[in-house]
Amino acid sequence: MKDIRERTFEFALRIVALCQRLDEKPGIARTLGRQLLRAGTSIGANMEEAQAGQSKPDFISKNAIALKEARETLYWLRLLSASKVIPAERLSELQEEAEELLKIIGAIIVSAKSRKTDS
């Protein structure tokens, strides 16, 4: 199983590639692409920061930010698909991965909150 930091990094690379294509288009596609780029790359950045958390609350907080960014990323992917800026079938794998990341990060938060001692 891949480390969550590696998985979010690989996801960010895929988001970057998609956003590069969107940036070549005029208007709405470019605007939505910039929103997606910010959210989609922020997931991994916050997971990296969480690993260097100064305390358990800091670790949980950084993971919670990553979770929010994953939710936002999924929103932008759904919007791109529903508005037909990008064909739905081209986004389905990214949407599935975003949903998986949501589940994994959520589980990390639940696990960290349930631990009694600060590790």
Per-residue model confidence as pLDDT tens digits over 10-45:
999 999 999 999 999 989 999 999 999 999 999 999
The pTM of the full predicted model, rounded to 2 decimals, is: 0.91
> Alpha helices of 1-119 — where are they, by DSSP H?
4-23, 28-51, 56-82, 88-114
User: Residue written as tokens 């940036």?
Assistant: 23
Is the alpha carbon torsion for 96, 36, 32, 79 positive or negative? positive
Q: What is the pLDDT of residues 37-85, one digit of tens each?
A: 999 999 999 999 999 888 999 999 999 999 999 999 999 999 999 999 9
Domain positions in the chain are 4-114
CATH H superfamily, domain 4-114: 23S rRNA-intervening sequence (1.20.1440.60)
